[in-house]
Structure 1
Amino acid sequence: MQIKKFLKTRHLMLCSFLFITACIENAPLDSLSPAGPYARTIDDLFWLTFWIAVVIFFIVQGALLFSVFYFKDSPDKPEPKQIHGNNFLEILWTIIPVIILASIAVPTVRTIFDLAREPEDALKIEVIGHQWWFEYKYPDFAITTANVLVIPEDTPIRLEMWSNDVLHNYWVPKLNGKRYLVPGQKTYLNLHADNAEEFWAQCGEYCGLSHSKMRGRVLSLSQSDFDSWVMNQQKNAANDLDQNSLAYEGQQVYLNAGCTQCHVIDGVWDVQGEQIAPNLTHFGIRNVFAGAALKNNPENLTKWLANPAQIKPGTFMPNLELTEREIEALIEYLGTLK
């Protein structure tokens, strides 16, 4: 008896917990807290559909309960009148669903076209999906970066997207819906952030072992801050380090340990390898790395460089068998890339 009571209590607590978590507001991937016009358009459609469904639910359940109790079988009651074949009723409950479906379909189709339309004077950014990170290119500014998409606030953004390997899905729930990244085919997504704020992004399509850790950030800045960011990103990495410094030692690790086979640092190693791994030119100012799965700090970098596959199973970054000294030096060097 005690075990059954415990299990009932446990199930009740679990159900209560799931109910409470569903009511959480302002979660990082909360699609019910729109922060831009495209997300609000989707939100408006959601609530329209939701309230239509609520009204239908109560009407149907009310009719069901009425039928159960009012037409309850009893010896002293005659058999209810049968309505099978009643043309009026059959036409009525055919027309009503058509009206309901039309009231949902028309705004849905309108929303689809509104979201797909390319905005005027939009900033164009390319998004390339990799296992398991997002690469960003700004053709107008000759900038390549990764993990953190930086955009100006209150400005329309047009993303041109494709995948470099398998099917991915780009999703920034507070700014718009999901869109597939397809190998060999371009897709498009519009973003527009009302204010300067940081948003979470996530791959929304299972794409391998570390799919859940294929995340991202969208950082919306004021126009002046965005202009400053662009100017900084267009600079090459400093290549005049003190040869007696730990950072210089880390640069030599980068150049000689195999990092250059995949990673580019503009001004230091310019061989184009962006299609293999993230461009590290301004790695030091990114607040996340490893597909935005980890915060950019020395502790996480130490774990990552010691054994990347332990953090992200299936990652293409090999274990280079770096010594503690090499890892320390490399972290010091990466911190200078600002």
Structure 2
Amino acid sequence: MKRLAKWRLISLFAILALILSGCGEPFLSTLQPAGEVADMQYGLMKLSTYIMVGVILVVMIIFVLVFFRFRRKDDKIPKQVEGSHKLEIIWTVIPILLLLILAVPTVAATFKLADVSKMDQKNTKALVINVRSHLYWWDFEYPGQKIVTSQELVVPTNEKVYFSLKSMDVKHAFWIPAVGGKMDTNTDNINKFWLEFDSKKADEAGNLFYGKCAELCGPSHALMDFKVKTMSRDQFDSWVKAMQNVKEPQKADSAVAQQGQEIFNKSCVACHAVTPQNNKPEAARLAPNLTNFGDRSRVAGILDHNKTEIKNWIRNPETYKPGNKMTGKYPEMSEDQLNALSEYLMGLKVQQ
């Protein structure tokens, strides 16, 4: 009875796992590729899966045939023979052929994905983005456009986007499951790779993809998310121009927001920038750039983008991201101060 109860429990968990595997939003999985890199990686996954399943099926068929055809019917010891040279050649050659079938496209794809020569050219016209990972947020610098943003990566579709990856504290990993990756961000060297975002798939995903840290980096590793906004090249150029036009902190547009701006200037501006220019060395960027905070889709990368969640985050960030570097860096605020500050932050939008 105990064994039966255990099997029932295991069966229940297996069914729940199967049901939950179908949950979630579109384009959160590598099984829904939305770009050239993801397509190549998905193709390699399918190829290796087909080979493994094929091998398992062949072995199982041979096992069943041998089991029934050559099963013992008496106590006589069967005739002892040496190994068959023909069989030995067959089961040596077949794995080698399967390995070649898997290795050739894998090596070819690896060299293609590793080709970042275009981003290293002098005066390159390729879009290059410097990704800098922190505990537990992301910094995105566009050196060719001379702007910086955080937490939400903005990219054009249907063209290669090159990434230069580095960590500012511990090892992290940059990963956009539906588009490609993942690649480690290290403290002592820079990793480079490229991605391409398919416009049709981007439209299906609402022009918003999800990115994550894929390397265990601390207590809030699972909460180190970022969002990727995709748009056409013309829209991207307009966004870049709008960001470049922000030369100084945006002025508050109401009395409450003005009060919030004063609070921000006293308590927050030492860490958070509200202009997108990359005039600060990356090592000096202590916290996410908030220039276009009002245009974003999440607070701290994980909370709904509204004033209530902004206040919840500021009130106690440790509740939402344990081990973050914002906790304890500013004085406790009253409800009126939180209302004013959230009003100001929601007004930080870039007009295109």
Is TM-score (shorter-chain normalized) higher than 0.5? yes
Alignment deviations for residues 94-115 of structure 1 (CA, whole Å, 9 cap, x no partner): 1111111111111111111111
1:50 counterpart residue number? 49
Contact persistence 1:247–1:332 (CA under 8 A): yes
- Per-residue CA deviation, residues 163-211 of structure 1 (Å, 9 max, x unaligned), is 0000000111111121000002100121111114211101000000100
Alignment of 1:289-308 (within 5 A): 289-290=299-300, 292-308=301-317
**1:29, distance to aligned residue in structure 2 (A):** 2.5
Letter in 2 for 1:88: K
Report the CA distance shift for 1:71/1:231 in structure 2 as closer, same or farther (over 3 A).
same
Say yes or no: does 1:209 pair with 2:219: yes
Distance 1:301 1:113 in 2: 44
The amino acid of 2:264's aligned partner reads Y
Contact 1:147 1:289 in 2 (8 A): no
Is the 2:243–2:276 Cα contact (8 Å) retained in structure 1? Answer: no
Paired letter, 2:180: N
Alignment pair present for 1:169 and 2:173: yes
Residue 25 of structure 1 contacts residue 33 of structure 1 at CA under 8 Å; is this kept in 2?
no
Aligned amino acid, residue 138 of structure 1: Y
RMSD: 2.4
Query: Could you say which residue in structure 2 is the equivalent of 1:332?
Result: 343
In structure 1, what residue type is equivalent to 2:30?
S
Counterpart AA for 1:39 = A
Q: Does 1:251 align with 2:250?
A: no
**Separation in 1, partners of 2:57, 2:22:** 22
Question: Matches of 2:335 and 2:33 in 1, distance apart?
Answer: 45
Gapped regions of structure 2 (runs ≥ 5): 119-124
CA deviation digits over 1:303-323, x for unaligned, max 9?
100001111000110243111
1:9-57 CA-partner distances (Å, limit 9, x unpaired)? 4432211121233355864420011111111011111111111111111
Which one is further off, 13-22 or 305-314? 13-22
Structure 1 residues 235 and 99: alpha-carbon distance in aligned structure 2, compared to 1, 3 A threshold: same
TM-score by length of 2: 0.87
1:55-114 Cα distance to aligned partner (Å, 9 max, x none): 1110011111222222211118x6545454322222221111111111111111111111
CA distance in 1, matches of 2:57, 2:148: 53
| Matched residue count | 332
Rate the CA distance shift 1:9–1:71 in 2: closer, same or farther, 3 A.
Answer: same
**Conserved? CA contact 2:250–2:348, under 8 Å:** no
Judged with a 3 Å threshold, the aligned counterparts in structure 2 of structure 1 residues 132 and 267 are, in CA distance, closer, same or farther, namely: closer
Q: Indicate conservation of the 8 Å contact 2:149/2:276, yes or no.
A: no
Unaligned runs of 5+ in 1: none
- Equivalent residue for 1:96? 94
Q: 1:100 to 1:323 in 2, by over 3 A?
A: same
What's 1:118 paired with?
Answer: 116
In structure 1, distance between residues paired with 2:348 and 2:24: 36
Residue type of the alignment partner of 2:209: F
Within-5 A mapping of 1:192-271? 192-195=196-199, 196=202, 197-236=207-246, 238-241=249-252, 245-257=255-267, 259-266=268-275
Q: Distance in 1 between matches of 2:26 and 2:284?
A: 32
Change (3 A) 1:152 1:75: same
Distance 1:168 1:226, change over 3 A: same
